[in-house]
Amino acid sequence: MISPNTNERRGLIMTTSTPTYLLPTTEQRAEMLRIAGEHERLVRDDERQKITTISRSRTWELERMGKHPLRRKLGSNSVAWLLSDLLWFIHQPSHKEAA
């Protein structure tokens, strides 16, 4: 039986008590990019996987649960993520729980 604090969606059970991904502020984005020695840019899936060490399917699950930065659609078959979003994500304590 599913407890009252969970929802079942497409075979995934999501609990309401787990932390969700919160977008970084402009200052936090700038700080993450400064530390990494990078400039803001779009990151495609291969590089996203190297940065986060999370598989494509697990990333999709986490996005659906609100625990991962959302992808940005570039074209009909093309997506990318903001580098600052991914850097912020991997430096959050909840990232280790989600992976």
Q: State the pairing for strand pair 42-43/12-15.
A: unpaired
**Three-state secondary structure call for residue 35:** helix
pLDDT value of residue 1: 43
| pLDDT tens profile 62-71 | 999 999 999 9
Domain limits, the chain: 6-15+24-98
Neighbouring C-beta atoms of residue 74, cutoff 10 Å: 11
pLDDT value of residue 87: 96
| pLDDT tens profile 3-62 | 444 444 444 444 445 568 889 999 999 999 999 999 999 999 999 999 999 999 999 999
**Three-state secondary structure call for residue 55:** coil
pLDDT value of residue 92: 87
pLDDT value of residue 98: 61
Q: What does pTM read for this prediction?
A: 0.76
